[in-house]
Amino acid sequence: MPAIHFDNTYAQLPESFFTKLSPAQVPQPELLRINSELASMLSIDTDWLQAPEGISVLSGNAIADGSEPLAQAYAGHQFGGYNPQLGDGRAILLGEIIGTDSKRYDMQLKGSGRTPYSRGGDGKAALGPVIREYILSEAMAALGVSTTRALAAVTTGETVVRQDGPLPGAIFIRVASSHIRVGTFEYVAARKDTSELRALADHCIQRHFPQALESEAPYTVFLNHVITAQADLIAHWMSLGFIHGVMNTDNTAISGETIDYGPCAFMDTFHPQCVFSSIDANARYSWGNQPNIALWNLTRFAETLLPLLADDTDQAIAIAQSSLDTFQEYFSSQYMARFRAKFGLADSAADSLVQDGLTLLANQQVDFTLFFRHLTQVASGAPKGCLLGLFNDATEAEQWIARWLEATAQALHLEKMRTSNPVRIPRNHRVEQAIQAAYDNDFAPFHRLVDGLGNPYSEQDKYADLELAPLADEIVRETFCGT
């Protein structure tokens, strides 16, 4: 099967990092959707992918030439508690592909059956979570966020049993720069084998941050790169009103990509303490707490690297702490830069206006995405009516808008506003509607939603309904993991 050209490196690492095994067979695989653009970037023939031979590979029923299927082992802190044995409980890494951009990408099946890390689960995926991850990951890519990608989705013709009862099964075909997580390093570090830890770190440096090889302290540079990648990512999330929902260390990718779209959500009405995840009872992963959690996760990562940072433990801790101390300032600079762009403001002199604007949105429970869309329209010369209509207290809003107009009068960054404030996001109620329709064997809302979110910064009348905030009876207040 020459249609996919695998070139694997992770499979050459110590065998303790993974278990080699093949995906489970499924009875009746059918292609639900294929990402032709991504397939082309990976030099995969889309005609072959959509043919029976390709669908067999996408479903796990056949193994492509050069593939070395394996389930990765990792640990992780979940809601602050350490679990020493997690791993790919329902996923199989088929191998690595060199893209047309000369970068290396993993190709993974999610929902491909039991592995040694399934912890009693069936290793399968229901259709709903597959649709959610396809929609969200591709929407994030279109928004410009660093993310794993959807190559395809396949229905399996089998039934999986969940709390809601029997559901149709599916497999999600995910592409990532790698699937190495903070939890991967936690797993290897717990084995207390410095040679294995060094092998993993060297692999990541070569794959993700090769510039670190030029340094006399490559592992310190590696740590610094991971810190800045996570800071950039969280700032970008927050500028779009995105809440990951389960920022555990096993869901924190070393590459700086968004990974694992479980109970994630985009806010409708804005509030810093906003939470959607049904399992986040203490709001650990609320919108406003995401930078704190990112730093907490990075601290766990830095702890794993201590044996590589210096031979002397105290010196290694000092090096790690020095790197971690850079997070807050760097994150704040990225966060404010993104919000200045959203508000069309020039520099830090107007940062108080940004903070006051967000406080106003929170106090009046204003729709986050619509506010910035209408603000961009006002900046383009539109009347203020639609913008003011979002507020309960128009007087307070008028006062802030007057200040904003004064601040932008001399240096309005309109183009930055247009490229920072999306017209469409994956609204929670639209995602849920697409999932429920799919369970009724109607996939049109899913395809339309993916298509409509593919160009999120442009006005398109045919997708105008996707831009609307939910009606009272459409509001989604909780999202679920789906495992």
- Contact yes or no for 443/153 (Cβ under 8 A): no
Residue 91 has a CB neighbour count (10 Å cut-off) of 23
- Contact yes or no for 86/117 (Cβ under 8 A): yes
Angle, helices 394-408 vs 368-379, to 10°: value is: 50
Which one of the listed residues 232, 250, 280, 367 is annotated catalytic?
Answer: 250
In the beta sheet, which residues pair with residue 97? Answer: 6, 105
- Is 101 an active-site residue? no
Residue 29 has a CB neighbour count (10 Å cut-off) of 23
What distances in angstroms separate CA 29 from CA 270, 293, 410, 437, one per listed residue?
A: 41, 39, 59, 20
In whole angstroms, what is the distance from residue 259 CA to residue 217 CA? 28
At residue 481, the pLDDT reads 67
pTM of this prediction? Answer: 0.96
Q: Among 149, 144, 1, which residue's Cα sits nearest to residue 63?
A: 1
In whole angstroms, what is the distance from residue 339 CA to residue 355 CA? 9
What does the DSSP 8-state code read for residue 255?
T
With DSSP H G I counted as helix, E B as strand and the rest as coil, what are the percentages for the chain, rounded to 5? 50, 15, 35
Residue 113 has a CB neighbour count (10 Å cut-off) of 23
In whole angstroms, what is the distance from residue 371 CA to residue 345 CA? 16
At residue 2, the pLDDT reads 52
At residue 262, the pLDDT reads 87
Direct distance between the N- and C-terminal alpha carbons of the chain, in angstroms, rounded to an integer? 32
In the beta sheet, which residues pair with residue 160? Answer: 167
* Residue 30, both tokens: 């059918």
At residue 1, the pLDDT reads 45
pLDDT one digit per residue (tens) for the chain, 483 residues: 458 999 999 999 999 999 999 999 999 999 999 999 999 999 999 999 999 999 999 999 999 999 999 999 999 999 999 999 999 999 999 999 999 999 999 999 999 999 999 988 899 999 999 999 999 999 999 999 999 999 999 999 999 998 889 999 999 999 999 999 999 999 999 999 999 999 999 999 999 999 999 999 999 999 999 999 999 999 999 999 999 999 999 999 999 999 999 899 999 999 999 998 888 888 899 999 999 999 999 999 999 999 999 999 999 999 999 999 999 999 999 999 999 999 999 887 789 999 999 999 999 999 999 999 999 999 999 999 999 999 999 999 999 999 999 998 877 789 999 999 999 999 999 999 999 999 999 999 999 999 999 999 999 999 999 999 999 989 888 787 664
Going through 24-102 in order, the beta strands assigned E by DSSP cover 30-34, 70-72, 76-78, 81-83, 91-98
